[in-house]
Structure 1
Amino acid sequence: MRIALLYPPPWKVAGPDEARHTKDGPPEGYREGDLDADFYQTPYGLFALGAQAIRAGHQVKVLNLSSYPWSKVEEIVQKLDADVWGMSCWTANRRGVRLVSECIKRHHPNAHVVVGGPHATPLGPELLGHYPHVDTVCLGESDITFLELVSRLSKGLDTKAIAGTVYRDDGRVVTAPERKNVSDLDALASPQEYFDTHIMMTSRGCPWACTFCGAETSWGRGFRANSIDYVLSAMEKVTSRLPVRMIQIKDDTFTTNKKRVLEMCRKMRERNLGFFWSCDTRVDLLSDELLREMRLAGCQRLSLGVESGSQEILDKIDKKITPQEIIESTELAKKYGIKVRYYMMLGNRGETKESFAETLRFLERAKPHEYVFSCLSIYPGTRDFYDAEKAGWLNRSIYFERDFQEYKTPFDASEDTMRVLNEWFFSNHGLQIGYRDTTADYECIAERLGDYHAAHMDLGAAYYHEGKLDLAERHVRKALELGYPCPGLALNHLACIAKARGDIEAMMDLFMKAAKTDPQHWVLIQNVNAARAWFKKNGPAQHLPLELVVRHDFQLLERTMQPTLPGPLPEDYAEWRPALAPAPLEAAEEFVKTPDLEGSKKGLDERKRLPVV
């Protein structure tokens, strides 16, 4: 079967020279930046389904159309003749799913349109009721469900009553029996076998049940994980092809099984895989031993779901952590040089001006390296969603009848509290910098970790910023000798050290060496381009300033390349060929850096703007 897996745009996006679509366009008041930068990443589930289908012998294309102008979307759908069209449906792109399904049926009336994802799962019957051009909804974990659906279609069999689906039967919307989740995740095809994505999942599910989170609806209750050998094999395969040796592990709670992660980290070191990574987890699932092993295995950043600094709010959202636990885990991670990022929230149940002020005071005490706030969004399938329905102020029909991006609203805050929250948020949205490690901190970290390349790199960078160039060079070169996974960034530092000494020839030699050995880091590209422009203007003779960026933090440089991001499609995108493993990546002219300003700019809306039940 020919299968097209699409990540659609959120609505009808206007092209550069096109007028805004008055119908089916962005919601009223939409501003650039209201959609989080992460929105444009292809959901991991599409890669998982694509890998399963390729292994089963089907022809598969994964297309990210998340920022494409609607005219281009229409053109692509018309030209691409697929038997099965699958889409990942999130709250933010639910309208795009409807529009694309209509477009598919207009051009390919006999094709089968199937939708899944975290928005479709809790609203499966409603979605089929409102989206007449969608044939099937796959609920929850869809690896096996989707394969069974495709298998039946390939044999010309009826697709009704497949476990784990919602379908139509003589005009009626019917929910089939539930399908059990996959018990052995190693039995599934690895997305890293076929797709070059820096995002990776090593487990599914979370044993906790925070009120704002829909993980249980998507994955079921509990926690399941791939074996360590399965994970390491996938890491090895994909890092050999990625332009930058960095991976984001996006498990809901990576360190749920601390013993598993400890063993995984030790085996990563034994295999000398040589890449940097980040992960997300909870503060109560960390220990001194675990964090040390994570750091030595390449962990550069730890993102923690903190949400609030008020114990009262933490209790109301069923977080089951304390502010003191957050501080203790933060200090442990800092001890080994892991950068700590907090995910914070505004508008959770019980939020008041006083609880928010308490949160801000807490951040001053906890001193994370970074923190980013998001406004509460009521996602279908969460406890917030069901409790709001019971309380009578939310009707699920609004997700189909209204054009808002996401339903961002305080759960029960007063208008006065919401005004204070929004005023603060509009001035402080995006990634905020908190604690900055000192040279003394890095000296202690290097002493604790011994001859670990990244500790030497951190220390060398600290000495550079203090103007201690000889010490800086010594530690950066030591990092390279020890096998620093991103030599381009280390060579960039050495080039900047040479420039600070006035040795322009050595600077350019080091830039050129970096560009040949490890070229695709955004810092390096920016500096090389700046130096070239400087020379073109005869900068040395004219005594013109040359500003260089000196950074090596965990920043991913992703090429604007399909299918991970909505880059340009090849000219032959509509042609079908047998599925093959991906070829090694080649140089690309277009790049997009993971932005420093992360998170949505969209604030909280008043509930009264939406219909009250």
Structure 2
Amino acid sequence: MTPFRVVLVNPPPFQVLEPEYDRPPFGRVGLAYLAGYLRRYEGFRIEIVDAKLERLSFDETVRRALAANPDLVGLGAFTCEMKPAAYVAKLIKARRPGVTTVIGGVHVTAIPEHTLREFPQFDIGVHGEGEVTFHELCDALRSGAAASSLTATPGLVLRTDAGIVVAPSRERIADQDTIPFPAWDMLPRGDQYIVMTQRGCPFNCLFCMNPNGRTARPRSIENVMEELRLILDRYQPKDIRFGDELFSVNMDRTHELLDAMIAAGVQKHVTWTAQTHVRFVDRAILSKMKEAGARRIGLGIETGDAEVLKATGKGSTPEMILKAGAAAKEANVPIETYFVLGHPNETLKSMKKTIDLAVRLNPDTPIFGIMVPFPGTEVGRLAAAGEAGYRLRSTNWDDYDKQIGGALEFANLSRHQIERLQVWAYVKVFVWNGRYLDFVKFCWRYRREGFVLAKKIVVRRSDKLAHGRPAGAEDIAASVGPDRQEIIAATKEWQDWQRADLTRLKKLRPGHTNVVFVDIQRKRPDTAAAGAGQTT
């Protein structure tokens, strides 16, 4: 039988605004995972075209994809990448109408029906975790099945004579060790490689969709180390980026992984970065991270206002944040911190608290973003409903960028005021701490983003709220969000981890029981009731 030819595409950007993401030193891990999973089965010929990694234009991307004479082209996209992905699909359809185009990723997972309705360039969508669904789709098409007949296949969004059909969600893969390693050999060698040691995050932040679920699904230490050894031996990268939502969410497991990395001498060959939560770091684990080769740890701070932290479901306090920052400095681990301006009903006073906390924390690299109402998040639903001090000004997905986007208006402050606060936050963190040279280096590193932001401030868009709601707001209001039972189960698991940490602390310091338990389960606003019972 002739092999079924599949080409997976990471589309190029329309313009390079954020080089770290528009021209990254790493390949798209989601596509590499799909290719690695699909090639374990016979009957498929697979190629990956990563336009961002390879610095390809749209025309070069399409020519490369069509040179493989594909039966199917699969594209992955975050929300702000949807229009470039649709443009690639449009060009492919224009030159080769018979090719099946498939879209996957977090955006189509949040609003599956709307995505196919908005973008006729896509024949099929894959929502949720993609490996098993994508294989079943390709296998069915290879066997001659019509796409419209696959409505019973979990995880698909299909066009049928009766309209667009969204199949039920697929169960996530529980045993992560059963997933083959990403097919990095199908991509050009990069300076950096992404390694996922687990999928999922137990927190329920208002602004995050978290398509990997509210339960962390870890790989075994042995499986992670096998992949690390393979990457180091075969590709000799300069850096590893651990792509976990929360790298150290299970601190005992993290200690085991770091011990294994140190024993294997990983730190002699490569540096690495990871992101985690202030709850899951202390001096001991940060010191071990440093010993294992960490060059930077990212911490999601979000806000410096205690009440806002509680309302957003972050599961932290300003005191925890400052304690984590102090521990990082003691361990000599540089930190990159992420702040968001524009939380629900946020005021100028609370935003100033965020900036003041950032000055006290004095991170090596502060990142200040403005709230984005991503589909599938509670903030997205609130914004679409015109509640919590939000007004959705755009469903142009190009506007859905945390640094330089502009999808939201705010009741308590104009968009222009918040953008000025964003600039002031950077100035204050560096200047108030006497870090003038660091400030110059930071501005040079992010000069493209800074130019776009400065242009927006000088040539200001109208601060007036748009009349009515933009097209598509209803779909965002009803977009897929977390399942209530999943949140409860994740909360229990998270609290079990906390109890294990408490036991560990007691062994280290007898009599020490002053550990604050933060309940990450919160009351959901009535406006979110429509999302209850839906899953990511």
Whether these two folds match at TM > 0.5 is yes
Q: Distance in 1 between matches of 2:228 and 2:428?
A: 28
Alpha-carbon contact 1:204-1:225 (below 8 Å) kept? yes
Select the residue among 256, 259, 274 that pairs with 2:252. 259
Alpha-carbon contact 1:193-1:237 (below 8 Å) kept? no
Matched residues, number: 436
Gap runs ≥5 in structure 1 = 14-31, 439-550, 556-594
- For 1:98, give the aligned amino acid: A
1:383 is matched with 378
Alpha-carbon contact 2:391-2:408 (below 8 Å) kept? no
Q: Distance in 2 between matches of 1:327 and 1:219?
A: 29
Alpha-carbon contact 1:304-1:341 (below 8 Å) kept? yes
Select the residue among 273, 276, 295 that pairs with 1:300. 295
Q: Distance in 1 between matches of 2:35 and 2:428?
A: 33
Alpha-carbon contact 2:9-2:48 (below 8 Å) kept? yes
Matched, 1:246 2:239: yes
Identity of aligned residues (%): 24
Deviation at 1:157, TM superposition (A): 2.3
- For 2:178, give the aligned amino acid: A
Larger relative contact order, structure 1 or 2 (CA cutoff 8 Å, min sep 6): 1
Select the residue among 41, 56, 65 that pairs with 2:41. 56
Q: Deviations over 1:480-503 (max 9, x none)?
A: xxxxxxxxxxxxxxxxxxxxxxxx
Q: Distance in 1 between matches of 2:377 and 2:69?
A: 37
Alpha-carbon contact 2:33-2:180 (below 8 Å) kept? yes
Q: Distance in 1 between matches of 2:428 and 2:259?
A: 32
Matched, 1:272 2:265: yes
Query: Equivalent residue of 2:445, what SS?
Result: coil
Alpha-carbon contact 1:370-1:431 (below 8 Å) kept? no
Alpha-carbon contact 2:12-2:22 (below 8 Å) kept? no
User: Kindly tell me: are residues 364 and 432 of structure 1, through their superposed partners in 2, closer, same or farther at Cα, counting changes over 3 Å?
Assistant: closer
Select the residue among 437, 445, 456 that pairs with 1:596. 445
Deviates more, 1:352-361 or 1:425-434: 425-434
Matched, 1:608 2:465: yes
Deviation at 1:391, TM superposition (A): 3.3
1:574 is matched with none
2:213 is matched with 220
User: Kindly tell me: are residues 193 and 145 of structure 1, through their superposed partners in 2, closer, same or farther at Cα, counting changes over 3 Å?
Assistant: same
1:482 is matched with none
User: Kindly tell me: are residues 244 and 183 of structure 1, through their superposed partners in 2, closer, same or farther at Cα, counting changes over 3 Å?
Assistant: closer
Q: Distance in 2 between matches of 1:437 and 1:200?
A: 36
- For 1:47, give the aligned amino acid: A
Query: Equivalent residue of 1:120, what SS?
Result: helix
Select the residue among 115, 125, 129 that pairs with 2:113. 125
User: Kindly tell me: are residues 428 and 105 of structure 1, through their superposed partners in 2, closer, same or farther at Cα, counting changes over 3 Å?
Assistant: same
Q: Deviations over 1:37-84 (max 9, x none)?
A: 224444321111111122324322211224644443454455442111
Select the residue among 358, 361, 369 that pairs with 2:364. 369
Matched, 1:316 2:311: yes
User: Kindly tell me: are residues 313 and 68 of structure 1, through their superposed partners in 2, closer, same or farther at Cα, counting changes over 3 Å?
Assistant: same
2:406 is matched with 408
Alpha-carbon contact 1:253-1:281 (below 8 Å) kept? yes
Deviation at 1:244, TM superposition (A): 3.9
Q: Deviations over 1:243-302 (max 9, x none)?
A: 544211121111111111110111112222333211100001123332222222112211
Deviates more, 1:177-186 or 1:36-45: 36-45
Q: Distance in 1 between matches of 2:243 and 2:434?
A: 26
2:96 is matched with 108
- For 1:255, give the aligned amino acid: S
Matches within 5 A, 1:477-516: none
- For 2:166, give the aligned amino acid: T
Query: Equivalent residue of 1:342, what SS?
Result: strand
1:3 is matched with 6
Q: Distance in 1 between matches of 2:138 and 2:397?
A: 33
- For 1:596, give the aligned amino acid: R
Deviation at 1:338, TM superposition (A): 0.8
Query: Equivalent residue of 2:340, what SS?
Result: strand
Q: Deviations over 1:511-536 (max 9, x none)?
A: xxxxxxxxxxxxxxxxxxxxxxxxxx
- For 1:612, give the aligned amino acid: R
Select the residue among 79, 90, 104 that pairs with 2:78. 90
Q: Distance in 2 between matches of 1:144 and 1:94?
A: 23
Query: Equivalent residue of 1:312, what SS?
Result: helix
Deviation at 1:220, TM superposition (A): 2.4
Alpha-carbon contact 2:391-2:409 (below 8 Å) kept? no
TM-score by length of 2: 0.74
User: Kindly tell me: are residues 182 and 431 of structure 1, through their superposed partners in 2, closer, same or farther at Cα, counting changes over 3 Å?
Assistant: farther
Alpha-carbon contact 1:372-1:431 (below 8 Å) kept? no
Alpha-carbon contact 1:77-1:107 (below 8 Å) kept? no
Q: Distance in 2 between matches of 1:232 and 1:225?
A: 13
Q: Distance in 2 between matches of 1:434 and 1:190?
A: 45
User: Kindly tell me: are residues 181 and 437 of structure 1, through their superposed partners in 2, closer, same or farther at Cα, counting changes over 3 Å?
Assistant: farther
Query: Equivalent residue of 2:108, what SS?
Result: coil
- For 2:6, give the aligned amino acid: I
User: Kindly tell me: are residues 433 and 203 of structure 1, through their superposed partners in 2, closer, same or farther at Cα, counting changes over 3 Å?
Assistant: farther
Alpha-carbon contact 2:339-2:354 (below 8 Å) kept? no
Matched, 1:99 2:87: yes
Deviation at 1:312, TM superposition (A): 2.5
Q: Distance in 2 between matches of 1:430 and 1:179?
A: 46
Alpha-carbon contact 2:6-2:70 (below 8 Å) kept? yes
Deviation at 1:145, TM superposition (A): 0.4
Larger Rg: 1
Q: Distance in 1 between matches of 2:180 and 2:431?
A: 40
User: Kindly tell me: are residues 4 and 431 of structure 1, through their superposed partners in 2, closer, same or farther at Cα, counting changes over 3 Å?
Assistant: farther
Alpha-carbon contact 1:313-1:350 (below 8 Å) kept? no
Q: Deviations over 1:543-571 (max 9, x none)?
A: xxxxxxxx9xxx9xxxxxxxxxxxxxxxx
2:224 is matched with 231
1:169 is matched with 160
User: Kindly tell me: are residues 422 and 394 of structure 1, through their superposed partners in 2, closer, same or farther at Cα, counting changes over 3 Å?
Assistant: closer
1:181 is matched with 172
Alpha-carbon contact 1:316-1:350 (below 8 Å) kept? no
TM-score by length of 1: 0.65
Alpha-carbon contact 2:7-2:74 (below 8 Å) kept? yes
